[in-house]
Structure 1
Amino acid sequence: RSYLETRLEGRVLLDDIELSDGRTMAAGTMVDPDDLIALRDDPSVERVRMRSVLTCDAPQGICAACYGRSLATGNNIQLGEAVGVIAAQSIGEPGTQLTMRTFHTGGVSSGTGDIAGGLPRVVELFEARSPKGKATLARVSGVVRVGEDEGRGRTVTVVSDDGTEDAYLIPGPSRLEVVDGQEVAAGDAIVEGPRDPKELLDIKGVRETQMYLVDQVQRVYRDQGVSIHDKHIELIVRQMTRRVAVQEPGDSVFLPGERVDSRVYAETNRELLQAGKVPAEGRPELMGITKASLATDSWLSAASFQETTRVLTEAAIESRSDSLVGLKENIIIGKLIPAGTGMDRYRAFETVAPDYEPMQFWTSEEDTDGEDLASWLATQGGDAYAGGGDGAAAGESQAESQMADVVELPREDSA
């Protein structure tokens, strides 16, 4: 699969697109292979805006339009599909293949980078760790001035438009990504190396950090010939960037240092502003997948993952309740998971069977008229006698065969 296929195919257009042949692709169109070819080959199309799970505003989960087509069926995704589980499997299964390839090649490094370096890089990205040998990022936009090496390294200065200078001491062995007089934007790398996603978050914000993480994970897999659709990685990155650390609570109910869901944070501030009150101030936070799993709103889900004693103790001290909206917490208490046919929308209906008649059962306790089982079966339209097949085939009459197989049931006098 090509780069465009893993990014555009199966997604929904956000804006109308005018093609050079006069056709218009309307917003809301699901991009199929023919549409992808038309977009790719049209010289007038330089930028396409698509709906993405990274920007979905659904109050719970994600909406079907932002997810797009199910890659398993080729149809629109069904409501209730556990897309998070699908995403984790879609990323983890190729990772297993990469591991096996390492063993087959004996650890020999290839031109695209050894697998042993690829998988740790994926873990490093999903756990939001600071990479080794990370690049120095420009904190402001401006023009680069490269100083001379004075023995302890070179000084690189970025002069902004207002004349402010921001200096960086670069060690001697490091290779520069910039040259003297070059214009750089905030967040651009000054030195070669992987960027620290948390530093990038502070400088360029959530959206740029999300796109960087998706691109870097894709780069590891593409280097090994593995194709994964962007939407699977975006789902994981969405969970990593969904928290906001409250710094100033204002008139909200939040506490300083509390981590809250970004959607709840935005809605609370919107209500405070409409009421003329002071909104809360916070900073977006990037959390690794392990830490994000422990920071979930469900204490049952967190306790089933790691640090069970600590999670249960804190939940008891804080008198927390669990709304049971996730999968793991419902499995723990023995309920149907709220996905697939376990969703309320699929279970909130009444079964109507106008021709249904309840089945009759015979018991000796209900036998008040001295009726035996054989007679009762006859009244229900069944055969009063059992057997008769083999005997009739051997030349006996049907009546003789049936009479020969009649079994007298034991009865109690009190029945």
Structure 2
Amino acid sequence: MKTLTLHDLNKADCLRLFFDGVFNPKNGVEFEVAPFLEALEEHADGWVPTFVKTGRRRKYSRDAVWSAIEERRDDFGSSIGLFRSENPGVSLSLTLGLTETDPELSVSLNVQPLSFFASEEASRGLVAVARGWASRYPSHYAAAHGTADWGLTDDPAFGRDDATWKRDGFDKIYELFWLNIFGPNLVESVGRERMLSTPAHLVEELPNGSILLVLWPTAAEFASEEARVVQARAHVHLRQDLDFDTVLRTLRERSAALVPVEPRFHPDVAPFLSRLPDEFAISERQRKIAELNAFRPPVPEEWLPVAHPSDVANPERVLESYGDLSEGLVAALHTKVPSIMDETAGSLTDLDFYFWRENFPERYTRELIDSHTAPALGAYLGDVLVRRLNGNWVPRQKVEESQVRVGKRVWLPFLRARRYMQSRQSLLDYSLTQFFHEVERYRP
């Protein structure tokens, strides 16, 4: 059974739901939480969690939930995870504030992929789950929406400075999502009759005075032109200070930002660049792919048409010192970059990705990089050229002049490594992957 991690959930768009509701633990946790589980079991057709996780995993059952809650209970409350590893994947965090003045039952739910909710039946099931929770646990505000588009809304600030949004919270309707639950205070701030007359797919008053509002029949189609028009109309209906054309233009821009962009990376760096998009938030991914498509690394200049002869008294000893440097890099990174042991083109790409993901040049001190990392990397890069491209070392007293002869050119791996380690951008401009492929073209 696989637990969905944040990285897993960032690979494809998800349906995200957050919910904070009030409950009364004095009635007993089992009594209070049972309606939460009943709504999930009855209406989450096709995406009911299959196991419970705390310090251990348990097959989903009511008893497993009660045991997990007690296992994780401390002076403040309890937090457990409910998961589903089958398609669609589910990650549900349930937190109970058991000792607060106003105890809360808080839920963060992700269902992947979002396309599971392309059908009205599946979307109705999600609405029914949210209705059940909101009817039982009064909430100030709750919502469900596609994760990627949600990331473009500037939630929770919505354009406000930190002090303001932390003070005021969601005190007015800054954004409308596919599914919205407005508590009585928000309803009264808008006007109950106005909110009930919102032009949307579903507007329903709940027994506790909250209002459930769903913009479109299917959650997965929230970004269609028709759904965006409904979203804009509903938002300006609830916020008369907003301008319809301005709101719709912003929504269209967000939809455009989500349109898939086909990767067309420069071939010499494609093995490296193809790994980067998944490291960005899913809301930014298509823009980043477009930026990487446009990226053209500088043509490598770390080479000479004619070799400078070796000027060292004992070449064997110098080459042995290069080997020590290279082995030191392998020893330091072999657990984080296992392929470094192989000394291949793929190893260089793995190093590119590791150094970029870690933001190595800007995270570590310049003294460490210049005196240790860059020289070790230069030696390792040279060894890969020797081993994989039939190169030959030409050692020099000044290390950055040391060369590897491949074909009719000689290459300067130590110089390349120093330039490479200047900044995070330089990891792209002077990638090891590109350098290898450039040298490879001159292999005899």
TM bin, normalised by shorter chain, reads: under 0.3
TM-score (norm 2): 0.20
Q: TM-score, normalised by structure 1?
A: 0.21
Q: Which has the higher helix share?
A: 2
